[in-house]
Structure 1
Amino acid sequence: MTVTDTAGGSLFGLAYGDALGKPTEFRRYDQITAEYGPGGPRELPEPALVTDDTQMALAVGWALHEASAPTPEVLEPLLRARFLAWAKSPENNRAPGMTCLNACANLAAGMPWQRATVAGSKGCGANMRVTPVGLVPDYDLDTLAGIAQLQAGLTHGHPTGLAAAELTALAVRLPRDGAALAELPGLLRERCAEQRTVYRGDWLGDLWQRPGVTSPEEFIARGWDECADVLDTLIAALRRPDSGGDVCRETGEGWIAEEALASALLAALRHADDPVAALGRAAATGGDSDSIACLAGAFHGAAAGMAIWPASWADRIEYADQLATLGAAWD
């Protein structure tokens, strides 16, 4: 059977994971499991509120939806406008990341985005919002890569933030194209090798120019190498029996971009046949629980669509109307 609603499944999965991880973020693993059990939270809270992760994913999604062409000249001002609208919104009260807030303040001052970005940050803030880039069906892989890195670079200028954002978008795109979830670690690791010295200057301009960096290839290779290292750690973890514990102990706490990707994939793959269990496992971590869970939900939804999620959740999740509109546009 062909699954036709994977964009909606991915966007709603992202929001569901975000809502499940919102109450557990900043808590220790033993505190979370004492309250929810070893499998973590499995029921949406009431009300089912999300964090800045979903808010910013929607900001990216609407910028893509509004774009007349998938080019940097068209998309950069749209992304800038959506990020600034988020930054000043009264709903931006969900413990937003300081990197995003600082970069948005610079963007609001009119700085070129390559100067406005927080150059040394590879926090996961650019990862948790990139899912929509992997859902637009008309993008070829070069366009997907350029947009994923551009949206990351507006706030997170570290090369690992750029590479991890591209890999995260690809981890959404590949299941939509028919790849099995179990294939993702190997396919993403291959991408690291293929792209190691590919600097997308048409999308990034002179972002690479930093003290001590002699070429754009040297700059971007650092990001791909760090992503390759954590994917090697993930692949090794998947070869071992599942401990049943905190996935962050194997692949990192997820506060930084490459670890958020790896820990979300580990939670998703430990429960490849039970997406709700994957969300609970991802939310029951001592790391960045909401970001890890939202990505795990995005990956599962991209692979199998809306039917994998409890039907009663769709009307309860915050921003359901926006998630449904964007999902329908790309399905």
Structure 2
Amino acid sequence: MENRLLGCIVGGAIGDALGYEVEFWLQKEIEEQYGILDRYILHEGKALISDDTQMTLFTMEGLIQEGEDILDSIYNAYLDWLKTQQYKTIQKGRSSLLEFQELYSQRAPGYTCLSVLEANERGSIYRPINHSKGCGGIMRVAPIAFLKKDILFKDQLAAQVSALTHGHPLGYIPSAYHVHILSRLLEGYTLVDAIKDANRVIPSIFEGSEKLIRLIEDAITLSKNTLSDVKNISLLGQGWVAEETLAIALYCCLRYEKDFNKAIVASVNHDGDSDSTGLVTGNISGLLTGYDKIEKQWKDSLECMDIICMECKKFIEKLK
């Protein structure tokens, strides 16, 4: 379990850090500058993580601090994350993550997450707070897959966690789909079979998943052709909205199912939200690969690596 959890969360952080530097770049600009971006851009020796990894850690913290209402615990953890975006010095709160100065950094946090949390409001699937389907919901839910709960409970929880801030069905259904796939992979499913199962189950739980399923079917088809990754990904979108983020990630993981490096590199070299597509790809590919088999080059320069590993180990203890 520890190897796969670390693979999933660290793998996500690797994709996030690789893509963060070019998040708002056109693919043409990436190509002109780097040819293909296949190594970190370092700042004082570190590859910087974005708000995507930060919020993933605070999701995990909410699960660790779980009280009577698991959703309340996660929401309260997000309010603590908000403090790291509002202040430069260490603040008090429920979360032990607030003790780490490294997390007090604004790394292009999503407007939807910020605005909802700043207003101290919260949405739900049944009472949506807005009509956003941005990828700020899906990029933070991976830890939910590791709960020792029924898979339908985890699917629903992932959607509810995303609906706290993202009210459009396609703002929270892809989160359920992502957690469903990760959960099935943990059970020993192949990626193809996990996708088939999600395509069967998710529409039976949530209304409004048709566009997502069509886009994922496109990703499956494109992963088998001989066109370039840049061309194929452009046909799926740019990843700013959650259904495109997931489709791009699944394309990369299917195309390079046994090659973490190639999957991650493909996931960030495109127009659009490279850190989020990199993170979701890294979640899936990292779980499949396992932490031990992720190359050392990706781990050594990763910002907050010690914090990420510490939080994962605390979560593992909670799961026992």
Normalised TM-score (structure 2)? 0.85
1:41 corresponds to which residue?
Answer: 38
Contact 1:246 1:281 in 2 (8 A): no
Q: How far is the alpha carbon of 1:20 from its aligned partner?
A: 0.2
- Residue 50 (structure 2) pairs with residue 51 (structure 1): yes
Q: 1:132 corresponds to which residue?
A: 143
Give every structure 1 segment of 4 or more consecutive aligned residues whose post-TM-superposition deviation is greater than 6 Å.
none
Q: Distance in 1 between matches of 2:229 and 2:241?
A: 23
Match of 2:59 in 1: 60
- Measure the CA separation in 1 of the matches of 2:233 and 2:154: 28
Q: Kindly indicate whether the alpha-carbon contact (under 8 Å) linking 2:123 and 2:167 is maintained by their aligned counterparts in 1.
A: no
Answer yes or no: is the 8 Å Cα contact 2:222–2:232 preserved in 1: no
1:250-289 residue pairs with structure 2 within 5 A?
Answer: 250-289=235-274
Alignment counterpart, residue 189 of structure 2, candidates 179, 198, 202: 179
1:78 partnered with 2:73: yes
Shift of 1:323: 1.9
Name the CA shift for 1:112/1:258 in 2 (closer, same or farther; >3 Å): closer
- Amino acid in structure 2 at the alignment position of 1:33: E
CA contact (8 A) 1:131 1:168 kept: yes
Letter in 2 for 1:31: E
Deviations 1:104-130 (A, max 9, x none): 1222xxx45449964200100000101
The answer to whether the aligner puts 1:24 opposite 2:18 as a matched pair is no
Mapped partners of 1:57, 1:116: distance in 2: 24
The one of 226, 234, 238 aligned to 2:211: 226
Counterpart CA distance in 2 for 1:178 and 1:19 is 28
Matches within 5 A, 1:208-219: none
1:164 equivalent in alignment to 2:162 = no
Please say if 1:105 is aligned against 2:124.
no
Aligned-partner residue type, residue 24 of structure 1: V
Structure 1 position 48, deviation (Å): 1.4
Contact 2:151 2:183 in 1 (8 A): no
Is contact 1:9–1:301 with CA below 8 Å preserved after alignment? yes
CA RMSD of aligned residues (A): 2.2
How far apart are 1:169 and its partner, in Å?
Answer: 1.1
Deviation at residue 271 of structure 1 after TM alignment: 1.7
How much does 1:257 deviate?
A: 0.7
Matched, 1:150 2:150: no
Q: Deviations over 1:250-307 (max 9, x none)?
A: 2111111111000011112222222012111111111110000111111011112112
Give the Cα–Cα distance (whole angstroms) in 2 for the partners of residues 322 and 262 of structure 1: 29
Give the conservation status (yes or no) of the 8 Å contact 2:17–2:40: no
Equivalent residues in 2 for 1:279-318 (5 A)?
279-318=264-303
1:4 deviates by 5.4
In structure 2, the residue matched to 1:119 is 130
Equivalents in 2 of 1:221, 1:116: separation in Å? 15
Query: In 1, distance between residues paired with 2:275 and 2:122?
Result: 31
* Residue type of the alignment partner of 1:103: V
Structure 2: runs of 5+ lacking an equivalent? 89-103
Change (3 A) 1:102 1:300: same
**1:15 matched residue in structure 2:** 13
* 1:92, distance to aligned residue in structure 2 (A): 4.4
C-alpha contact 2:128 2:168 (8 A) present in aligned 1: no
> Does structure 2 retain, via aligned residues, the 8 Å contact 1:173–1:302?
no
- Residue identity (%): 28
Q: Which residue of 2 aligns with 1:201?
A: none
Could you say if the C-alpha distance between residues 320 and 246 of structure 1 is closer, same or farther in structure 2, counting changes exceeding 3 Å?
Answer: farther
Match of 1:211 in 2: none
Matched residues, number: 295
Q: Give the SS at the match of 1:21.
A: helix
Find the residue that maps to 2:69 and give its secondary structure: helix
